[in-house]
Amino acid sequence: MSVYTESKDTAIVEQENQLDKVILLLKAAGNAPVMKKMKWSVSRKQKIHWVVDFIRKYISCDPSESLFLYVNQCFAPAMDAEIGSLYDCFSVEGKLILHYCKTQAWG
């Protein structure tokens, strides 16, 4: 196998990996701490509960504290919903916008 073929295969794999990811925009609402980095690239196959766990760790949220997540300030998605399907239905300008807060805000 030539070096050219290997680099071409690597480029194809990287391109497929990019197609498997979506852009999340995580915005704080209410009294939730603001994240320094708001834009994240996440696998389409990840579930919403993974995002909630990620936010909890990032903002150092106590396990006893509630954390609510909303899509486009409208509704709270099911914890087992896939990011990819939410992205396909509710993305805006190529980003899925999720708002998080410690008290119930919308819905």
Q: Select 22-101's CATH number: 3.10.20.90, 3.40.50.280, 3.50.50.60, 3.30.70.2700.
A: 3.10.20.90
- What pLDDT score does 9 carry? 61
Label the pairing between strands 68-71 and 96-101.
antiparallel
Give dist(CA 56, CA 100) in Å, integer.
10
Q: Which residue reads 């999340």 in tokens?
A: 24
pLDDT tens-digit series, residues 29-70: 988 999 999 999 999 999 999 999 999 999 998 888 899 999
With bands split at pLDDT 50, 70 and 90, how would you rate the model's confidence at 16? low
pLDDT tens-digit series, residues 79-95: 999 999 999 999 999 99
Is the full-model pTM beyond 0.75?
yes
> What is each CA distance from 27 to 4, 44, 68, 81, 84, in whole angstroms?
43, 19, 12, 19, 19
Helix (H, G, I), strand (E, B) or coil at 80: coil
Above 70 in pLDDT, residue 1?
no
Above 90 in pLDDT, residue 14?
no
Above 70 in pLDDT, residue 23?
yes
Return the half-sphere exposure (C-beta side, CA atoms, 13 A cut-off) of residue 88. Answer: 9
- What pLDDT score does 8 carry? 56
With beta carbons less than 8 A apart as the criterion, state whether 30 and 53 touch. Answer: no
Query: Would you kindly state where each structural domain of the chain is located, as residue ranges?
Result: 22-101
